[in-house]
Structures are given as C-alpha cells and as structure tokens.
Homo-oligomer: A and B are copies of this chain.
Amino acid sequence: MKRTLGPLERIFPMPCVILGAGPVTEPSLMTASWINVVATAPPTIAVGVRKIRHTLKAMEESSCFSINIPSTALADTVDYLGIATANNPDIDKAHASKLHFSPGAVLDVPLVDECPYNLECRVTQTLDLGVYTLILAEIEQTHAEERILVAPDSDVVDIEALDPLIYIAGAREYRAIGSAVGPAYTIGKRFIG
C-alpha cells in the first residue's frame, strides 16, 4: 500500500561533499549533497547551490571550484561546513574547520587535503532555478589517495577504503556505504535468454 507525500525534493541516497572555491590561502567552503555527474565527453557535473551561499559567489567569480569527497571520519567537519554560516555569517569556516588545502594541478581551486578524493572543475554554464543556481562544470582533473585505489596503477576506487559520507534526505542523517550487492552489467544477464 502506497501513500502520496506531495512534491518532496528527495532522492535516495545522496552524496555529501565539500565544495571549495577562491584562494587556497583563504578558501570558501560549503557542504553539498545536490550534486552528481550528468554527462561524459566532456565529463560534466551538475550541482545546485542556494544563491545566498558565499561559496557560490567565489565559484562564479573564479569560474572554477573543487569537489572534495570526505570519508565518514570527517562527518563532524562536513556537517559544520553545512551549518556554520547560519550561526555566524562572518565566520572563517576554513580556519575554524582546521582543514588543510593544496592548490589544484590545472585550475585555481583549493583542494581539501583531508579528503581522499578531489575533483577540479571548470564552470561551463549557470542556470537560474529560483532560490538555487544550477552550476554545470567540466571535470578537468581527479586526485585520489593511493591507499583508496584497488591497485597502484588503477584509477578504480575501493569504495570501502574511501568510506564516503552519504546524506539521507528527510531523515537528515549521515550514513556509511554498506555491503556489496553484486557486479553491475552482469547480474541482470539472467533475464537475457
């Protein structure tokens, strides 16, 4: 038996990442869950950002930003970056978070050292979606800690080593990744006669 709940802005699950923009010595940071890949060739990211966010201004001014994927061990810090400005709009979140930053390899973006996976993105298009702005951006470089790769010469991430933070809308809780269900492009073959 199903119930109708109205037009809720929820999908399950969502990632939970740190966006960074501006100077590496004074980066602007925010937490984002409304983000995903939407195209390849070129690899394109879509992310919805509330217009009042300082980080959005930094993203638009520099036309680039970083996506930093945290492990669950960083959950408190990520949560702080999502709520800090509401408590004090003038706070220096980057300093208070005690995170460290490195410059991008190809773009002028701040990469969060403590996040094991980082993307450098160049803004290609912005769309006005009312209270939100939709940013479309091309992924130009990826950085990953060696320890989270399945092999030294592989670009494939061992998801349990990355241990990414997951956001659950509605329940407003963070979760870890769970057990393996099966290999994609494989387990459905039993339907193919």
Contacts and interface: CB of A to CB of B under 8 A. Distances in A.
B175 A175 contact: no
Contact of A39 (B48, B88, B188): B48
A168 B160 CA distance: 11
Interface string A53-77: 0000000000000010100100111
A89 interface: no
A165 to B, nearest CB: 7
A36 B14 CA distance: 7
A38 B39 CA distance: 15
A105 B6 CA distance: 11
A132 B82 CA distance: 31
How many copies of the chain does the oligomer comprise?
Answer: 2
A103 to B, nearest CB: 13
B14 A12 contact: no
Contact of A174 (B8, B36, B41, B181): B181
A8 B142 contact: yes
A185 to B, nearest CB: 5
B3 A131 contact: no
Contacts of A24: none
A181 B13 CA distance: 14
Nearest to A190: B76
Nearest to A135: B38
Contact of A38 (B47, B119, B157): B47
A37 B183 contact: no
A185 B82 contact: yes
